[in-house]
Chains A and B, each alone.
Chain A
């Protein structure tokens, strides 16, 4: 119970109390009114700017316009990589509504509007499951305007679906330029998390993933534009607002000749190989081809697991840029360089060695590729006939340590300043190198192996081309790929011009005076090629094999055991303009048309008589199944049929490593290293008259 009030309450007191309290109430109410007005002032005046911004960002929907990528053009301005207009449809997983049911509804509608196959739908489903929410998942690319319009019209029914009208990268020459340009692709999640640049997750935006596209990314990218539209809360577009145009990336001109590049790629045929053509006046790279290759167009669209597996499984390693990543024993192609070194060491140009077909060093016997021997030979004859015994003996006398510096001088073992991600620069061995690496002293056998470009010697095709160009020009040319970065003013090599003349003359003889490279003789009147063939063995030939059955012919060996075929050269022989290197993995000199001399001859012919070269190609191309596109399509169809892939294989491979870093490439280069390691201590190889499947002999120490 309440305590009794001390005073009596009268009606008058009550009235007084009421008016006091009513006044208090009125005041409190007015106070609340003021408070509300103050709050409103705070929102509308003090924070006006912030809320204006928020209202604007509500109202205005800003879509980035991916910048048009700068073109990559060849030395004459012809496009190597350009942009085609593209209508595409993506799904932004974050913006899908209604859970799984909503997603299925959207996919069903898309499948109907775009005529997607069940495989496509399954691919999109798997991609959606795997994608981070903000990453666009591609539904379809390069669709017709009608379909694009149909989707755009029904966008309110398709939450999360983003139709974009933009540009897609196109490589007119396809696989022929794959390892030159690399390819472009959507940014991956890590890249976005690093920079949070909204452009990276804009549908249709692609950045360089490999090759020049990656190396030149900052120059090629350009600046994104923005499209502004007024939208309702439900995303309906009410009005278009002024749009900021994109700034296209800068066009990059290369030293490459697109016609020659494509011709060389086609002329390599079914080979797993590479070809490099340099201008031997400036060092400009005119062609840099590695075949087979992937199609950068389909890579840029997003490659499926199946395609990736096909490329990875291929023993011709289409993912590898063999020009700079492939390392090969250069074989007899080093003999002209050896000649320079011997002349510099004081060997006379006419000093002779008698080749009896074999040379005993200590307890071992080293064979020449010619069983009966060449008889007495001077330097020119030894280069022309590719005599092993001459170089064994001469270099045994001088020591390989006098050869190695010259090898480095002409470019072997060197890394060049080029916008290429990976250059494996191989090995030019000498006694100090061996001691450092293997903790063993240099042996005479090591020197003999190295003297014919085997054993520890490894080089990439680019280095071989540079070697040819430097011997041809007598200058320390530096190869270049960008038209803006040509290294002019290359200094002269520290070699007497008489020495160079002797070696060049020998190389002329290889092709034109009954040497081992007669098949490379140019058919262009008045122009002669000078060159040197090479064969590099990748297996040991045992004494037992030699005695019982004779050396097994390449045609009977499995692909991986066949010899590499090589060729270096330049033309015209008396006024060198172009230098070339062709390296064919495991070619084995089995098919004449597809062997190095004729390939080099045709590529070189292209530079002097384009029509004749094209005709030569037209004659032979049908014999190996048509041009690159035809053969790639046939191979893909066969592979698909053989694999009968599960639907998941069609899913876009988002974690695909860049081709030049892929496992397949690692495996292939490891093989080269293993070969080196396995053969170096014991095996020696010879050289053969190429393309006639004659006995390519090898030698072993007992």
Chain B
């Protein structure tokens, strides 16, 4: 690859394509937030924009952290976060009926960090596991334990969405690590059997309600079903080209609840239509595909599993959020990364991207050598 001599090497060597893609998504998110505030930078778009570029800078900085640091930090970080989750359970602040927050000067939500860290921890475990052991029982139970402990703690908060994402991230790493396929098929079948039982005996009433209402939103159009109904109305009324920037009625007249956070996609779709929605979905698919490709090109087992796992974590965010706002999944409180207002998810996703860029940097250094 020939490079221009005018642009200094360290700048030219940045992964510009992915940065451009991420900035495009983030900027679009700020435009949507500007509209959601009724055509105002306050209270959301400006602070979100500042935070976005600060965190993006942090992600670029993180990308210089070498792979071996991630490798050695994986399990300690995991232990720290599990301890934090236990602390949350013991002393955490209750907000909106669930105990998710740890107040240490700034409010921290440890479960949010578990999403990337579970990927790192599982990748580290399979990295340490000799190849021979992959298809034995010893390859499964420690990973299952690694996933099960934080998932159980998070589910108890209760935060079903995050717990499922943590499970998903871990299981995907197991899958990529080569755990026998029949286990996943069997697991899927077991899940199909267990789901109704869990639905009746494990879920909280409000969670059960959400699932029931997801199955039939019109049954409760004024309370819990209201979110899904209004979100579908916003998306459906947007049509092909949308109602135009700043012309959304569902969001501007407050019919759409959480139009700047979890349901920001509906706000966007109302004004930008199917075209805007598909472009956004495409951008996310490109980001995820880049992440998976980073994994394909990685040289070490840890890097491969980590990269593909983190890409999948981003994918889960997007897929669950979109399925939720389109009425394909129950309302579980997973925001749309880079677009929804709020810092936790944005931080997590940019952390994932930082690690992915770090692996990417290593890959390119190896290929240049």
Interface residues of A (CB under 8 A from B): 1-2, 4-5, 8-11, 13-15, 17-19, 21-23, 25-26, 29-30, 32-33, 36-37, 39-41, 43-45, 47-48, 50-52, 54-55, 58-59, 230-234, 238
Given A21-B178, A29-B312, A238-B253, 5 more pairs with CB closer than 8 A:
A25-B172, A25-B176, A29-B315, A40-B235, A40-B326
Asked if B235 and A43 sit within 8 Å, CB to CB, the answer is: yes
Asked if A26 and B289 sit within 8 Å, CB to CB, the answer is: yes
Q: Which residues of A contact B136 (CB under 8 A)?
A: 2, 4-5
Q: Is B254 an interface residue (CB 8 A)?
A: yes
Asked if A17 and B178 sit within 8 Å, CB to CB, the answer is: yes
Asked if B132 and A29 sit within 8 Å, CB to CB, the answer is: no
Asked if A40 and B277 sit within 8 Å, CB to CB, the answer is: yes
Give the A-B contact count at a CB cut-off of 8 A: 153
User: Which residue of chain B has its CB nearest to the CB of A29?
Assistant: B315
Asked if A59 and B289 sit within 8 Å, CB to CB, the answer is: no
8 Å CB contact of B240 from A8, A45, A54: A45
8 Å CB contact of B274 from A8, A18, A40, A238: A40
Asked if B235 and A22 sit within 8 Å, CB to CB, the answer is: no
Q: Which residues of B contact A5 (CB under 8 A)?
A: 135-136, 180
Asked if A22 and B250 sit within 8 Å, CB to CB, the answer is: no
Distance, CA A45 to CA B312, complexed state (A): 29
Asked if B237 and A29 sit within 8 Å, CB to CB, the answer is: no
For chain B, the bracket of interface size reads: 35 or more
Q: Nearest Cβ distance between residue B34 and chain A, in whole angstroms?
A: 19
Q: Which residues of A contact B319 (CB under 8 A)?
A: 29, 32-33, 36
Interface positions, chain B 190-224, Cβ under 8 Å from A, are none
Q: Nearest Cβ distance between residue B44 and chain A, in whole angstroms?
A: 18
8 Å CB contact of B285 from A33, A40, A55, A231: A33
Distance, CA A259 to CA B349, complexed state (A): 87
Asked if A231 and B253 sit within 8 Å, CB to CB, the answer is: yes
User: Which residue of chain A has its CB nearest to the CB of B241?
Assistant: A44
Q: Which residues of B contact A18 (CB under 8 A)?
A: 176-178, 295, 301, 304-305, 308
Distance, CA A231 to CA B249, complexed state (A): 10
Q: Which residues of A contact B134 (CB under 8 A)?
A: 9, 14
Asked if B296 and A19 sit within 8 Å, CB to CB, the answer is: yes
Give the most central of A13, A22, A45: most B CB within 10 Å. A22
Asked if B240 and A14 sit within 8 Å, CB to CB, the answer is: no
Asked if B235 and A14 sit within 8 Å, CB to CB, the answer is: no
Q: Is B131 an interface residue (CB 8 A)?
A: yes
Q: Is B284 an interface residue (CB 8 A)?
A: yes
Asked if A45 and B274 sit within 8 Å, CB to CB, the answer is: yes
Interface positions, chain B 106-142, Cβ under 8 Å from A, are 131-132, 134-137, 140
Q: What are 10 A-B residue pairs whose CB atoms fall within 8 Å in the complex?
A: A2-B136, A18-B178, A18-B295, A25-B308, A29-B312, A33-B285, A36-B323, A40-B235, A44-B277, A51-B233
Asked if A51 and B232 sit within 8 Å, CB to CB, the answer is: yes
Asked if B131 and A48 sit within 8 Å, CB to CB, the answer is: no
Asked if B238 and A37 sit within 8 Å, CB to CB, the answer is: no
Q: Nearest Cβ distance between residue A695 and chain B, in whole angstroms?
A: 79
Asked if A11 and B131 sit within 8 Å, CB to CB, the answer is: yes
8 Å CB contact of B301 from A14, A47, A50, A55: A14
8 Å CB contact of A48 from B239, B249, B304, B312: B239
Q: Which residues of B contact A39 (CB under 8 A)?
A: 323, 326, 328
Distance, CA A665 to CA B172, complexed state (A): 85
Q: Nearest Cβ distance between residue B237 and chain A, in whole angstroms?
A: 4
Q: Is B163 an interface residue (CB 8 A)?
A: no
Q: Is B60 an interface residue (CB 8 A)?
A: no
Asked if B255 and A43 sit within 8 Å, CB to CB, the answer is: no
Interface residues of B (CB under 8 A from A): 131-132, 134-137, 140, 172, 175-178, 180, 230, 232-240, 249-250, 253-255, 269, 273-274, 277-278, 281-282, 284-285, 288-289, 292, 295-296, 301, 304-305, 308, 312, 315, 319, 322-323, 326-328
- Overall SS of chain B's interface: helix
Distance, CA A52 to CA B240, complexed state (A): 12
Asked if A58 and B233 sit within 8 Å, CB to CB, the answer is: yes
Distance, CA A19 to CA B281, complexed state (A): 24
Q: Which residues of A contact B308 (CB under 8 A)?
A: 18, 22, 25
Q: Nearest Cβ distance between residue A30 and chain B, in whole angstroms?
A: 6
Distance, CA A51 to CA B323, complexed state (A): 18
Asked if B254 and A234 sit within 8 Å, CB to CB, the answer is: yes
Q: Which residues of B contact A36 (CB under 8 A)?
A: 281, 319, 322-323, 326, 328
User: Which residue of chain A has its CB nearest to the CB of B248?
Assistant: A55
8 Å CB contact of B239 from A1, A30, A32, A44: A44
User: Which residue of chain B has its CB nearest to the CB of A51?
Assistant: B236
Distance, CA A50 to CA B229, complexed state (A): 12
Asked if A8 and B236 sit within 8 Å, CB to CB, the answer is: no
Asked if A232 and B253 sit within 8 Å, CB to CB, the answer is: yes
Asked if A29 and B326 sit within 8 Å, CB to CB, the answer is: no
Asked if B250 and A44 sit within 8 Å, CB to CB, the answer is: no
Distance, CA A15 to CA B305, complexed state (A): 10
Distance, CA A17 to CA B134, complexed state (A): 11
Asked if B253 and A58 sit within 8 Å, CB to CB, the answer is: yes
Q: Nearest Cβ distance between residue B50 and chain A, in whole angstroms?
A: 29
User: Which residue of chain B has its CB nearest to the CB of A11?
Assistant: B131
Distance, CA A30 to CA B296, complexed state (A): 16
Known: A9-B131, A21-B178, A43-B235. A37 touches B249 (CB 8 A): no
Q: Which residues of B contact A233 (CB under 8 A)?
A: 253-255
Q: Which residues of B contact A231 (CB under 8 A)?
A: 253
8 Å CB contact of A44 from B135, B238, B255: B238
Asked if A2 and B137 sit within 8 Å, CB to CB, the answer is: yes
Q: Which residues of B contact A37 (CB under 8 A)?
A: 277-278, 281
Asked if A44 and B235 sit within 8 Å, CB to CB, the answer is: yes
Asked if A45 and B178 sit within 8 Å, CB to CB, the answer is: no
Known: A22-B296, A22-B308, A36-B319. A43 touches B326 (CB 8 A): yes
